[in-house]
A and B are shown apart, each in its own frame.
Chain A
């Protein structure tokens, strides 16, 4: 994400100086940007820590009495107002005014704390949800791969010719993809299956690298789905590798050497 919040905005957020519309856009950005959330939190912590550390010096006991004496000893003629001060001053009891200020201060600090907590909770929750979704997807892909190996059945389309495999998916999938002509050494296309991942039609391309079997799942990403790609690199001893292009998520899973799996994935990515 290139358009992170500027230091000025982060400071204004910590200082409660953002206008309502600015606050709304900043909050929206924070929901989607962990880096800025972290910086906003740090800025807020720095401010509160500075506040505590800054209240460092207290006046000596005698100073308050000295000031009280100073105020009371001054000749009243020194501060005679031209206008009737009382008539201009709002009829608010000073102690009530202090209470009101204190109330506003407490309310403001509570609001800032609540907003901060909400942002943190939302961010944590969305991060947890995304992590759970990623794990669930990886687990499902792993299950599908293991089931294919265990069934020991021929693929639904049995061919090493990409011009046979790709057209086989016509009318079966709401999307299309390309298959590479030149594969890494000792790698061969064995065929493909039509399968379902998270209840969505998915192409399961079957390759072999030496004696190792590889499943490459090609699925269409839904609108707004940003965090669902597999970022795990290992699952129950299997290696995972993948990429994202256009509206497709491609994930390969196998027990083969990671470098050889990556080479296959790169060759598929290159042709998209």
Chain B
């Protein structure tokens, strides 16, 4: 009996650790990518990922098996970032305008109809193919907008998942996405490559 229980316990422990590995390690590239965007530094990004993994591993016992692991571990990453040195710096450099517009605004209300640009899709297509311009445009995004772009467009998460990770209402997620895309379009329209084409 003792031997059998030992065997069972070992198998359970092994299965649990295997499960964590199976769930977490495939997400490592995505975690690192987001971490690098947030910290803007490879060393800080590695530290952030390492700390995230450690916290996730320790908190895995409390993880609800039926819930979304990716959203869960990204939330840990985000919270860890916010309390890190680079995260604190980023939080205090958010422009006042961003904070003002954040409160109570949702979706369409945050972005007036007229703010959509009216340029031709062909021109925008050329512009979007310029990856370095997009990189620059993303780097210029304020941290709260960069977060939603990374989670929504890069990690292809649903609004509900993003809301859970960022601990904000879905309406705010929509508002931030709309403003982030507006920022990107405006940044791209200032791209000299495009200006040259238009000239």
CB distance from A172 to the nearest CB of B (A): 47
| Range of interface residues on B (Cβ < 8 Å) | 35 or more
Mask: chain B, 106-129; 1 = CB below 8 Å from A; 0 = not:
011001010110001100110011
Contact B116 A39 (CB under 8 A): yes
Contact B174 A82 (CB under 8 A): no
Mask: chain A, 1-14; 1 = CB below 8 Å from B; 0 = not:
00010111111100
Contact B66 A79 (CB under 8 A): no
A105 within 8 A of B: yes
Residues of B near A15 (CB, < 8 A) are: 152, 158-159, 177
Contact B20 A71 (CB under 8 A): yes
Given contacts A8-B111, A55-B33, 17 further A-B pairs with CB under 8 A are A7-B107, A38-B121, A42-B121, A42-B124, A46-B185, A54-B37, A57-B37, A59-B32, A60-B42, A63-B32, A63-B46, A63-B49, A66-B50, A74-B17, A79-B20, A86-B15, A95-B22
Contact B135 A56 (CB under 8 A): yes
CB distance from B175 to the nearest CB of A (A): 8
CB distance from B49 to the nearest CB of A (A): 7
| Range of interface residues on A (Cβ < 8 Å) | 35 or more
B156 within 8 A of A: yes
Mask: chain A, 42-67; 1 = CB below 8 Å from B; 0 = not:
11011101111111111110011011
A245 within 8 A of B: no
- Given A17-B158, A68-B21, A82–B65 Cβ distance below 8 Å? no
CB distance from B150 to the nearest CB of A (A): 6
Q: Which 3 A-B residue pairs are closest in the complex by CB-CB distance? A: A54-B154, A8-B107, A57-B36
Residues of A near B113 (CB, < 8 A) are: 4, 6-7
Return the chain A residue nearest B21 by Cβ. Answer: A71
Question: Which of B24, B66, B108, B111: most chain A Cβ within 10 A?
Answer: B108
Which of B52-60, B84-92, B94-102 contacts the other chain? B52-60
B196 within 8 A of A: no
21 A-B pairs in the complex with CB atoms less than 8 angstroms apart? A4-B113, A6-B113, A8-B108, A15-B152, A17-B158, A38-B120, A46-B185, A50-B138, A50-B184, A53-B138, A54-B154, A57-B37, A63-B49, A71-B24, A79-B20, A79-B60, A81-B16, A82-B61, A85-B15, A86-B12, A95-B22
Mask: chain A, 68-85; 1 = CB below 8 Å from B; 0 = not:
101110101011111011
CB distance from B55 to the nearest CB of A (A): 11
Contact A68 B154 (CB under 8 A): no
CB distance from B151 to the nearest CB of A (A): 10
Contact of B107 (CB < 8 Å), options: A6, A57, A76 = A6
Contact A59 B49 (CB under 8 A): yes
A88 within 8 A of B: yes
Residues of A near B12 (CB, < 8 A) are: 84-86
